[in-house]
Structure 1
């Protein structure tokens, strides 16, 4: 049987013999889908889940992080995460911009795994698509990690401080986790499992977000007491797109717990449950069987619910730290839970398809499985410790240059004070009432004329305000 021409080598000077068009197409599609989770996904989610006075600021923090990560990634951060080894936990920094580099076959040079006698146990990771696809794919994961971290800081972090924080945290925290677990670093070589980011993305963003929230300080008292989302339906629509078995199970468990204990099903709670399910499954997504995914969904819908709804309210430390969107519970707790349960349920045959250390398995399958569970816990502790220390240092350095927290007047007003822009053509949510701007028949073209009106006209304008409006929202 003859091979179709399209699948023969040398069909074009632009197509190398090693290139698998299907692999490359899927890698590009997958990267694009992850990118869409960030922009517009999390940009819209953040803009809708906060009070309307913070809609612009919250969405802009996510959008800025996405753009900043792209530039840093191709200039130095990609090779720090997936390039040649500099240290057991760090790659050598160099650009990923040249044509010669980007068009060669993708490879992770530090990923070769050796037996104790020096012979190769598992060959270097070298997929059948170009390096450009690898750089793109890994960049969107780095970007979404910073955006998830931002969820802990919404509603009060100085935007200019955020602009400095993003490249520093990417460089000194994310790259370490990525190289250690994915790029061929010491945790990769030891056989710690993180199939799609439970540790690299979720645990690190949850711990770093909580740590940064401690240093930035809380939102204003009014915002902490009442912080309703400005668009619940939009928030729900974006989250539903990401449902899978574990996430669906987690959503159902979380909702059932809300009904059982609070007697009301919560849309926001359901979304939180969906997120914890998605986070929990990431370390073992390709390594556990379907029944294990359901078990992990039950755990991820109940344990983070318990830490958020019960432990958080009783812990003095957790009460002191204002984690705006509860990223610590939905990502750090769920990420750790996912890594630990992967150490229990990782299926041996699937492990041999993915891990550099042969004969790996979860504790549920006996043999050396108990060791895998201990590896998972140890890997999580490294990620937690590194992020607490490095995030603290970064916050203290940034604080020497810029205030981490907005001034009180900006906290009171919101987007209009910080950006000079508002998400909605309505006034409220912290904006100071001004009859010359917010009059019932306000027209900006007559703004200056109104300032010159006599007292009677001013009183008439004030009386034109619709009923129920307060002078200071």
Structure 2
């Protein structure tokens, strides 16, 4: 098959944009947490680029996109070690883009998904335990769920759709993050310590880069520089824009003022909400998706407080609730003129079933994984180190403005 140079260039750029989102997330989370734990969160994000990248080569891509086995998982044999993955396009995904580029583009999605969870358990998990966690989580949760939706698994056969990861990425990671925060319990902090963001400037840089990368995240799902990509691109922008303003409104309404942190978090919540729907809805519908998503994500804090779970950076609130909401709204707002999915009660039911199945599966399997790692004594950070902060314990700091010593209390994991 002939390779389309324009489509290939477009997907190459989108792949690079999605790759950038993982370091951007590190900046976003690293700025939001206190200075005692900033570096520990950043390394947890960056290390996903190494660990998950290798998992994707040695079995991951094949388990997701290999020939379907009973609707549950893909056959590991066809693409293990990048076998049968080369420049020849695979017409199932794109007739004009090299198959190896589809492999690379999807690898970036696999990398950022476990990184999303790091904001929920700040300062409470050892690096060694975290490495074991993301390996098991990716194999046991991400690969099967991605196959169910994107690889021709049982949810896809039922008619469930997810353009860029609202179910596969945000719902799975969001509910796993909540399960992890619940399992690890509340943070132990020094008496009188203020858990203020280390640097809102860093958060702004991270949020801006995330928004920029999100265009590749959503529009790249078209696998072509065409009208569908243009619709997804525009919907992404509009949903993020209105979500930012809606979050600001709710802060003003409840607290009497708007905060810069809220503006940034609101935009990210809107982007997460539109992700599953970006390639199925009209741009004007994206405004409604952003409005509803920001409203539900903002008020989800009351559910989280009722549950009593210490999700440090509200990962479930923005990503779990956002991804779930956007996925269900496909059933209400999809336009068949955009991408062959028609809104209606049947589609709403299928989308709801998909998010419930993924959320419950992610919660249960995540809890089992944590119990296994915890039984080996490699999961939890001791309380005294939680109080001091992982950065202090490890001897690395984001800034050396307070005369911190790199040699004191070095307890590397």
2:128 maps to what in 1? 160
SS of equivalent residue, structure 1 residue 220: coil
SS of equivalent residue, structure 2 residue 280: coil
Q: Distance in 1 between matches of 2:108 and 2:320?
A: 20
Superposition deviation, residue 223 in structure 1? 8.7
SS of equivalent residue, structure 1 residue 52: coil
2:29 maps to what in 1? 46
Q: Does 1:129 align with 2:97?
A: yes
Q: Distance in 2 between matches of 1:337 and 1:385?
A: 16
Match of 2:360 among 378, 385, 398: 385
- Seen in structure 2, the aligned counterparts of structure 1 residues 161 and 25 have a Cα distance that, compared at 3 Å, is same
1:102 maps to what in 2? 86
- Seen in structure 2, the aligned counterparts of structure 1 residues 226 and 89 have a Cα distance that, compared at 3 Å, is farther
Q: Please give the residue correspondences for 1:228-267 in structure 2 after superposition, counting only pairs within 5 Å.
A: 228-241=196-209, 242=211, 244-267=237-260
**Structure 2 portions without partners, runs of 5+:** 213-236, 409-413
Determine if contact 1:213/1:322 at 8 Å carries over to the other structure.
Answer: yes
Determine if contact 1:273/1:300 at 8 Å carries over to the other structure.
Answer: no
Q: Distance in 2 between matches of 1:255 and 1:289?
A: 25
Q: Distance in 1 between matches of 2:132 and 2:393?
A: 17
Q: Distance in 2 between matches of 1:270 and 1:98?
A: 42
Q: Distance in 1 between matches of 2:62 and 2:377?
A: 30
**Which shifted more, 18-27 or 292-301?**
18-27
Q: Please give the residue correspondences for 1:388-427 in structure 2 after superposition, counting only pairs within 5 Å.
A: 388-427=363-402
Determine if contact 1:415/1:422 at 8 Å carries over to the other structure.
Answer: no
Determine if contact 1:80/1:93 at 8 Å carries over to the other structure.
Answer: yes
- Seen in structure 2, the aligned counterparts of structure 1 residues 416 and 144 have a Cα distance that, compared at 3 Å, is closer
Give per-residue Cα distances to partners, 1:183-233, cap 9 Å, x unaligned. 111111222121111101101110011111112222114499732111101
1:208 maps to what in 2? 176
- Of structures 1 and 2, the one scoring higher in RCO (CA 8 A, sep 6+) is 2
SS of equivalent residue, structure 2 residue 120: coil
- Seen in structure 2, the aligned counterparts of structure 1 residues 233 and 191 have a Cα distance that, compared at 3 Å, is same
1:73 maps to what in 2? 56
TM-score, scaled to structure 2:
0.87
- Seen in structure 2, the aligned counterparts of structure 1 residues 223 and 80 have a Cα distance that, compared at 3 Å, is farther
SS of equivalent residue, structure 1 residue 285: coil
Match of 1:58 among 38, 41, 45: 41
Match of 1:335 among 323, 347, 366: 323
Q: Please give the residue correspondences for 1:140-155 in structure 2 after superposition, counting only pairs within 5 Å.
A: 140-155=108-123
SS of equivalent residue, structure 1 residue 53: coil
SS of equivalent residue, structure 2 residue 279: coil
1:88 maps to what in 2? 71
Structure exhibiting the larger radius of gyration computed from Cα positions: 1
- The root-mean-square deviation of aligned C-alpha atoms, in Å, is 2.1
TM-score, scaled to structure 1:
0.77
Superposition deviation, residue 376 in structure 1? 0.5
Give per-residue Cα distances to partners, 1:237-258, cap 9 Å, x unaligned. 3213417110110110110111
- Seen in structure 2, the aligned counterparts of structure 1 residues 225 and 211 have a Cα distance that, compared at 3 Å, is farther
**Structure 1 portions without partners, runs of 5+:** 1-16, 108-123, 353-359, 363-368, 432-436, 439-443, 448-473
Determine if contact 2:189/2:387 at 8 Å carries over to the other structure.
Answer: no
Match of 2:336 among 319, 344, 348: 348
Q: Please give the residue correspondences for 1:161-180 in structure 2 after superposition, counting only pairs within 5 Å.
A: 161-180=129-148
1:311 maps to what in 2? 303
- Seen in structure 2, the aligned counterparts of structure 1 residues 200 and 158 have a Cα distance that, compared at 3 Å, is same
1:7 maps to what in 2? none
Q: Distance in 1 between matches of 2:100 and 2:154?
A: 25
2:157 maps to what in 1? 189
Q: Distance in 1 between matches of 2:82 and 2:315?
A: 37
Q: Distance in 2 between matches of 1:225 and 1:390?
A: 34
2:6 maps to what in 1? 22
Determine if contact 2:189/2:386 at 8 Å carries over to the other structure.
Answer: no
Give per-residue Cα distances to partners, 1:121-147, cap 9 Å, x unaligned. xxx444322221111100110111111
Give per-residue Cα distances to partners, 1:154-208, cap 9 Å, x unaligned. 1221111001011110000001111010111111122212111110110111001
Paired residues, number? 382
Determine if contact 2:117/2:177 at 8 Å carries over to the other structure.
Answer: yes
As a proportion of its length, which structure holds more helix?
2
Superposition deviation, residue 25 in structure 1? 1.4
Superposition deviation, residue 312 in structure 1? 3.1
Q: Distance in 2 between matches of 1:73 and 1:399?
A: 26
Q: Distance in 1 between matches of 2:87 and 2:311?
A: 43
Superposition deviation, residue 97 in structure 1? 3.4
Q: Distance in 1 between matches of 2:13 and 2:333?
A: 29
Determine if contact 2:38/2:391 at 8 Å carries over to the other structure.
Answer: no
Determine if contact 1:66/1:147 at 8 Å carries over to the other structure.
Answer: no
